[in-house]
Structure 1
């Protein structure tokens, strides 16, 4: 009986994507992860969180929004449809990473990790609707999206480097300082979800349960953590200059400064203008850029060698095609 090949193996036999294609596919997953966060914020900021009244259907008896649901139904349903686009983009990355020779199992595993995070987050989004936008479930939904963004950024980085054992470009104390930066930025993101869950933008025009904390106090904690992230970034920049670190990590820190400055502008403008929806949305977009910049700083402090070379015909170990019976 001839060997049965899975679809990914069949594609790999007939298509050899370039390294640049795999890298662009990985970058596309990063972009889509950001889009999902921003459009999810748009659903909440437009009071469309319950535009579809149930899940997995949009309304009882209909998978799609009806005319009676108006624009809120369209916004919520449109965000649901974007999940399929996200799955398609991640699918392209998985296929490209699998087809690329030599096969890099670590890269395909990261692609599948993204897929499983999406699969896990879909019912969490459904529970968000079924519980009437419970703020704790909303926070979990956002944090899972942040986890997806994290894996996407790591996939992008791994698509651009080799598979050698990681080699630190700086001393251990500098790496530890970077770890502190990552932890502080992660805490900033988590506290940001508490600000969202206790703030005025509940996601629906009707009364929605909020997290029972003092909104101004939790906002002040959020601001304090932002200053800690800025302070750690400044300390890291001076440290990298002092130890004469390579150009890549120093450039990544400068890019982080630029993103933090932009995010600071969004933050103060939204506060002094009374939290207008548009600026709050830009602040959410800025939060994804900050997290990406922090991760890139962390990842540029080690190297894993060049990309593996594509093997020649003599180096490929291909299973011979089954011959027809005589």
Structure 2
């Protein structure tokens, strides 16, 4: 466990973000190949078998492989947590002392740390959320199998993954802001005083939370109405597919409008270049998503394009979450003050 910030700490935090996006990628592969019930039970794969068998064929192998990815994600998240424990606590601590801290009398695994006691408590707490989120994901995934891929449960499974990506994006922002002076310089966090027009920055941040949440949810409704169910016998939503698709597209266009407003305000108030970079990143991921989304709509939802759209959704959630976190942090005097207190050279 490192005692100071280094490339390993930075790299493993990026790894947590990427590993959570990979859950969307492999989950899409399961659904698009009709392998959703390749393992027909949970937590076992089939009957008394914990692993897939040759009789279950390629569908069993794909579904079981998706389940194994959960353990890979757990390993990466544990490594991320161990990478920051000594940095947060400011003292040497062994693995067993870490276990005692988490599950002993202090129950820090449930209560987390307080900023008043540890200035990097947010890194500790965000990692804890990600660890507990993996357990929640596994349970939701199991219930989804028990309910034979009910589309509302598939929605819950995807939305939980989206939340995990968002938390990981916030964790990465906070880590870089605390330990990389160049990151803070690009954000122009040199004082607690927010830039001019910061009220609009925060207001549009809340609008972004609502619209991003809505478009992600409506995207799952479109999926639950479409043909790629994960199994031929799975129940589908009875909604009009054109109607739900247009509503999903509408929320995307509304969010695009907020981005245009932010571009105008960035120019007007000379907001930091890091903010402009985040805007461009979200804008380009939306262009990619729009191109793939309209292409798949007009070509009958070919599996390759659907998978590309799923990959794009994970990247978009990462980019949009990082942008919204920046809006709240850079536009708030209290949050800027806290960022300055956490800052280390």
Structures share a fold, TM > 0.5?
yes
Equivalent residue, structure 2, for 1:186: 213
Matches within 5 A, 1:4-83: 15-83=2-70
What is the rounded CA distance, in whole Å, between the counterparts of 2:224 and 2:344 in structure 1? 49
| Alignment partner of 1:118 is 2:153 | no
| Alignment partner of 1:235 is 2:270 | no
Equivalent residue, structure 1, for 2:106: none
| Alignment partner of 1:305 is 2:340 | yes
What is the rounded CA distance, in whole Å, between the counterparts of 1:134 and 1:148 in structure 2? 21
| Alignment partner of 1:267 is 2:293 | yes
Q: Please report how far the alpha carbon of residue 307 of structure 1 lies from its aligned counterpart in structure 2 after TM superposition.
A: 5.6
What is the rounded CA distance, in whole Å, between the counterparts of 2:323 and 2:343 in structure 1? 24
| Alignment partner of 1:278 is 2:304 | yes
After superposition, give the CA deviation of every residue in 1:75-122 in whole Å (9 maximum; x if it has no partner). 000000000000000000100110225462221111110010110111
Q: Please report how far the alpha carbon of residue 247 of structure 1 lies from its aligned counterpart in structure 2 after TM superposition.
A: 0.8
Structure 2 residue matching 1:162: 3-state secondary structure = helix
The answer (yes or no) to whether the contact 1:160–1:307 under 8 Å persists in 2 is: no
Q: Please report how far the alpha carbon of residue 27 of structure 1 lies from its aligned counterpart in structure 2 after TM superposition.
A: 1.1
Q: Please report how far the alpha carbon of residue 19 of structure 1 lies from its aligned counterpart in structure 2 after TM superposition.
A: 3.7
Equivalent residue, structure 1, for 2:80: 93
Structure 2 residue matching 1:40: 3-state secondary structure = helix
Range with bigger deviation, 299-308 or 227-236? 299-308
The counterpart of 2:145, out of the listed 129, 153, 163, is: 129
Q: Please report how far the alpha carbon of residue 306 of structure 1 lies from its aligned counterpart in structure 2 after TM superposition.
A: 7.8
What is the rounded CA distance, in whole Å, between the counterparts of 1:168 and 1:277 in structure 2? 46
The answer (yes or no) to whether the contact 2:166–2:322 under 8 Å persists in 1 is: no
The counterpart of 2:157, out of the listed 135, 141, 162, is: 141
The answer (yes or no) to whether the contact 2:178–2:344 under 8 Å persists in 1 is: no
Q: Please report how far the alpha carbon of residue 150 of structure 1 lies from its aligned counterpart in structure 2 after TM superposition.
A: 1.1
What is the rounded CA distance, in whole Å, between the counterparts of 1:256 and 1:265 in structure 2? 14
What is the rounded CA distance, in whole Å, between the counterparts of 1:135 and 1:255 in structure 2? 31
The answer (yes or no) to whether the contact 1:17–1:96 under 8 Å persists in 2 is: no
What is the rounded CA distance, in whole Å, between the counterparts of 2:270 and 2:137 in structure 1? 42
Equivalent residue, structure 2, for 1:295: 321
From the superposition, tell whether residues 168 and 290 of structure 1 become closer, same or farther in structure 2 (CA, over 3 Å).
Answer: farther
Range with bigger deviation, 170-179 or 263-272? 170-179
The answer (yes or no) to whether the contact 2:214–2:251 under 8 Å persists in 1 is: yes
Structure 2 residue matching 1:237: 3-state secondary structure = helix
Give unmatched runs, 5+ long, in structure 2. Answer: 91-117, 180-188, 331-335
Structure number with larger C-alpha Rg? 1
Q: Please report how far the alpha carbon of residue 158 of structure 1 lies from its aligned counterpart in structure 2 after TM superposition.
A: 1.1
Number of matched pairs: 296
The counterpart of 2:281, out of the listed 255, 269, 278, is: 255
| Alignment partner of 1:151 is 2:178 | no
The answer (yes or no) to whether the contact 1:98–1:108 under 8 Å persists in 2 is: yes
| Alignment partner of 1:108 is 2:124 | yes
What is the rounded CA distance, in whole Å, between the counterparts of 2:148 and 2:192 in structure 1? 46
Q: Please report how far the alpha carbon of residue 37 of structure 1 lies from its aligned counterpart in structure 2 after TM superposition.
A: 1.2
Q: Please report how far the alpha carbon of residue 240 of structure 1 lies from its aligned counterpart in structure 2 after TM superposition.
A: 1.1
What is the rounded CA distance, in whole Å, between the counterparts of 2:18 and 2:320 in structure 1? 16
From the superposition, tell whether residues 166 and 156 of structure 1 become closer, same or farther in structure 2 (CA, over 3 Å).
Answer: farther
What is the rounded CA distance, in whole Å, between the counterparts of 1:50 and 1:296 in structure 2? 35
What is the rounded CA distance, in whole Å, between the counterparts of 1:166 and 1:146 in structure 2? 31
Range with bigger deviation, 128-137 or 164-173? 164-173
What is the rounded CA distance, in whole Å, between the counterparts of 1:51 and 1:208 in structure 2? 13
Higher helix share: 2
